[in-house]
Amino acid sequence: MIQCVTALLHNIQIGYAVVSLLFPAAFVGFAFAALLTVPLTDRLGFGKTMVLGAALEIVGFAVEAAAPPWPVFVVAYAVNGFAVAIMGAQVNAFVACLPGGNWKLQLLHAGYGVGALLSPLAATQLVQTRHWSFPYLIAGCMAVVELVLICLVFRFKTQAQLLGTPVHAATGENKYRQILRIRTVHLLSFFILVYVGLEVSIGGWVVTYLVEVRGAGPSAGYVSSGFWGGLALGRLTLIWLNEKLGVKRAIFLYLTLALVLQFVIWFVPSIVGDAIAVSMMGLLLGPFYPLIVGAGQKMFPPELLTGCIGWIASFGQAGSAVFPFLTGALAQKYGITVLQPVLVAMIVAEAAIWVVIPMPGREVE
């Protein structure tokens, strides 16, 4: 959703801090999703919850495409945030429970990377026109297709009906109370919070950094596509290395290499070199999210899996709102050069959190 931040900055002349209000607005939607995922899943089931999410996406995109007054536009982002978060929880839990869930999760999230790759390509062209809200019209049409496919493929069925798995009886205890007692849920939530914040901050602000600091032209928008393309490629090509190293060591290795590349971007004043380093960072960071979801599938009780993953995923979506907003606010005060030290701090924070997260057994392969 942040692919049009640069367009908003340049076409309707609003500052970093104002355009960054989109991120806390989305955070409000994500927060409501974290609270409502469990009751929605229990009452509606997988298929109907997915339909609800897709329908809300259409509403949000329709409002955004109309280029309404800024406060209305911000509210529409909150609606979209809620829709994306409840759908993300359902899809991640569903795929994690499929046979061979680990590589299928990598494939699922590679699809996200491909979509994020294509979005800046379109935004880079549309940013140069006066119709800055057109990307949301395109997204709305795609959401209509999504809604139709969800209805045809899943036919409003629950996850248990689709997978042929037994329905886990409720224990009588509040599910949120059970989820919140699991220490690993909180650790993984904070890890994903920082990870998605890092991912979205790079993909969303790197173009502005290259334009303002390195003097790049409008084609700098393609660097964002390079990052998301690398992310998609990493989720597909590093599966063998993930299996060989195990989750714990693989993520430590990727974080170390990403930190080195981040220093290259910070201190090497080369647009081409920075673009290559950004793409390589996408490659290294790509496997994180599906690896975490796959690990969670082995850690959490089946009856709590969707709720746990929904809680973690909502934290991730919150990270996509909080950290880009903070970056924008800091950039408004100190300039966009603040991006690089902020990203370095986030990578270090990731490593610190990862140290204390236990993996079940020897490793989650």
Higher pLDDT, residue 205 or 361: 205
| pLDDT, mean of residues 71-77 | 89
Q: In the predicted model, what is the mean pLDDT of residues 177-206?
A: 88
Confidence (pLDDT) at 361: 53
- Domain range for 279: 2-161+175-355
Q: pLDDT digit string (tens) for 299-315?
A: 888 778 877 887 887 78
Place of tokens 């309707």: 12
pLDDT at 312: 86
**In whole numbers, what is the pLDDT of the chain averaged over residues?**
83
> Which percentage of the chain shows pLDDT scores above 90?
27
Task: Tell whether the model's pLDDT for residue 2 goes beyond 60.
Answer: no
Burial class (CB in 10 A: 0-12, 13-18, 19+), 266: middle
pLDDT at residue 362 greater than cutoff 50: no
Evaluate whether residue 116 is within a structural domain.
yes
Structure tokens at 276: 């290559």
Alpha carbons 2 and 243: distance in angstroms, whole number: 32
- What value does the mean pLDDT take over residues 222-238? 87
Once rounded to an integer, what is the mean pLDDT over residues 341-350? 94
Instruction: Specify the higher pLDDT residue, 165 or 43.
Output: 43
Report the alpha-carbon distance of residue 246 to residue 257 in Å, rounded: 17
Of the candidates 59, 64, 226, 78, the residue with the CA atom closest to the CA atom of residue 135: 64
pLDDT of residue 283: 94
Pairwise CA distance, residues 141 & 61, whole Å: 9
Best mean pLDDT range from 93-102, 138-147, 203-212: 138-147
Is residue 185 a contact partner of residue 300, using CB atoms and an 8 Å limit? yes
- How high is the pLDDT of residue 171? 53
Is 360 among the domain residues? no
Q: What is the pLDDT of residue 320?
A: 77
More confident residue, 217 or 73: 73
The number of folded domains in the chain is 1
In a domain, 365, yes or no: no
Rounded distance, CA 264 to CA 137, Å? 38
Structure confidence at residue 68 (pLDDT): 84
Structural contact between residues 318 and 33, judged by C-beta atoms closer than 8 angstroms? no
Dihedral in degrees, nearest 10, Cα atoms 238, 241, 246, 250: -70
Determine contact, residues 36/86, Cβ cutoff 8 Å.
Answer: yes
| More confident call, 343 vs 204 | 343
CATH number of the domain residue 120 falls in: 1.20.1250.20
Q: Is the pLDDT of residue 336 over 80?
A: yes
Question: Is the separation of the CB atoms in 262 and 340 below 8 Å?
Answer: yes
Residue that wins the pLDDT comparison between 147 and 325: 147
The pTM for the full model equals 0.80
Task: Convert the pLDDT of each residue in 276-298 to its tens digit.
Answer: 999 999 999 999 988 888 888 78
51-60, 89-98, 164-173, 237-246: least confidently modelled range: 164-173
The answer to whether position 364 is within a domain reads: no
Confidence of residue 114 (pLDDT cuts 50, 70, 90): confident
Per residue, the 3-state secondary structure of the chain, as one string, reads CHHHHHHHHHHCCCCHHHHCCHHHHHHHHHHHHHHHHHHHHHHHHHHHHHHHHHHHHHHHHHHHHCCCCHHHHHHHHHHHHHHHHHHHHHHHHHHHCCCCHHHHHHHHHHHHHHHHHHHHHHHHHHCCCCCCCHHHHHHHHHHHHHHHHHHHHHCCCCHHHHHCCCCCCCCCCCHHHHHHCCHHHHHHHHHHHHHHHHHHHHHHHHHHHHHHCCCCCHHHHHHHHHHHHHHHHHHHHCHHHHHHHCHHHHHHHHHHHHHHHHHHHHHCCCHHHHHHHHHHHHHHHCCHHHHHHHHHHHHCCHHHHHHHHHHHHHHHHHHHHHHHHHHHHHHHHHCHHHHHHHHHHHHHHHHHHHHCCCCCCCCCC
Q: Report if residue 17 sits inside a domain.
A: yes
Percent of the chain with pLDDT over 70: 86
* Inside any domain, residue 46: yes
Give domain status of residue 155, yes or no.
yes
118-152 pLDDT, tens digit each: 766 666 566 566 666 777 888 899 999 999 999 99
Does 224 or 6 have the greater pLDDT score?
Answer: 224
For residues 140 and 116, the model is more confident at 140
Catalogue the long-range contacts made by 73-80 (C-beta closer than 8 Å, 24 or more residues apart).
74/21, 74/22, 74/25, 75/25, 77/1, 77/22, 77/25, 77/26, 77/29, 78/25, 78/26, 78/28, 78/29, 79/29, 80/1, 80/26, 80/29, 80/56
Let me know: does 76 contact 63? Beta carbons within 8 Å.
yes
In a domain, 361, yes or no: no
Predicted confidence (pLDDT) at residue 4 exceeds the cutoff of 70: no
- Between 9 and 75, name the one with better pLDDT: 75
pLDDT at 364 over 50: no
The tokens describing 137, both together, are: 């019209």
Length of the chain: 365
